[in-house]
Amino acid sequence: MADECLIRAVELGKDYLTAADTFFPVLKDIDFAIAAGEFVAIMGHSGSGKSTLMNVLGCLDTPSRGHYYLAGQDTAALSSDRLAELRNRIIGFVFQGFNLLPRVSIQDNVALPLLYADVVKSERRRRAQAMLERVGLGGYAERLPNQLSGGQQQRVAIARALVSNPQLILADEPTGNLDSQTSEEIMAIFGALNAENGITVVLVTHESDIADYSRRLIRIVDGRIAQDGPTAQILEPVRP
């Protein structure tokens, strides 16, 4: 079944070593699958384990037990180089803090993943410019990040995530540093990428209004999946 899903976690767990030399379980028996083309929100309070889960899904961390399959590949069976190759080929990342290089132009920030992939400079610049135009920043290529608003910087981060033509976007609190109007604009971009281009979107959030843009919601409580189903049903207010 693993190869039928873009993402599948099987009895996945993650422990961290504490200062007292004991292991603290952050993720416990996580089991779910995400098909290509889904738009999924992972929601939970601070400390629930949602960001740890996102790191495992992005192959930035490894599970302590269980299995994580990405595009049919059991990540535990891959070398670090092969895992990095799989991650760079399939996943585009968007973070709350934008993570842009401050002294590098917007265009070169977007092109950075292509530099790591040994794409020639002319092609890097062409593809980066195309992605900037796609997010409405075509005329900003030579500006530095500090010359842009927070919303514009997040658009740059989205363009950078898209420049390698990923199958999957993982977004960790992508609107956490933005005002409500800008948050709506950023979420509209994610929605269009999913609906029009079929890109799978998985985002972590603690905000119900942001989760409401997704079609499926996975709620994490104390490291376990407490709810998994259609977003509209899970977020529907409980009536007396």
The predicted pLDDT at position 239 comes to: 42
178, 151 in Cβ contact below 8 A?
yes
pLDDT tens per residue across span 205-232: 989 999 999 999 999 999 999 999 999 9
- Look up the pTM and report it: 0.90
170, 94 in Cβ contact below 8 A?
yes
**What is the rounded average pLDDT of the residues 35-51?**
93
More confident residue, 133 or 97: 133
**What is the rounded average pLDDT of the residues 177-191?**
92
Q: Is the pLDDT of residue 1 over 80?
A: no
pLDDT tens per residue across span 164-178: 999 999 999 999 888
Using 50, 70 and 90 to split pLDDT, how confident is the model at 3?
A: very low
Q: Is the pLDDT of residue 240 over 70?
A: no
The amino acid at 112? L
Q: Is the pLDDT of residue 69 over 70?
A: yes
Burial letters for 16-54: b for 16+ Cβ neighbours within 10 Å, e otherwise? eeeeeeeeebbbbebebebeeebbbbbbbeeebbbbbbb
More confident residue, 201 or 118: 201
Using 50, 70 and 90 to split pLDDT, how confident is the model at 4?
A: low
The predicted pLDDT at position 237 comes to: 60
For the chain, the residue count is 240
The predicted pLDDT at position 118 comes to: 85
The predicted pLDDT at position 85 comes to: 87
The predicted pLDDT at position 238 comes to: 45
Structure tokens at 48: 């629930």
As a whole-number percent, the residues of the chain with pLDDT over 90 amount to 76
SS3 track for the chain: CHHHCCEEEEEEEEEEECCCCCEEEEEEEEEEEECCCCEEEEECCCCCCHHHHHHHHCCCCCCCEEEEEECCEEHHHCCHHHHHHHHHHHEEEEECCCCCCCCCCHHHHHHHHHHHCCCCHHHHHHHHHHHHHHCCCHHHCCCCHHHCCHHHHHHHHHHHHHCCCCCEEEEECCCCCCCHHHHHHHHHHHHHHHHHHCCEEEEEECCHHHHCCCCEEEEEECCEEEEEEEHHHHHCCCCC
pLDDT tens per residue across span 101-160: 999 999 999 999 998 888 899 999 999 999 999 999 999 999 999 999 999 999 999 999
Which domains does the chain possess? 2-235 (3.40.50.300)
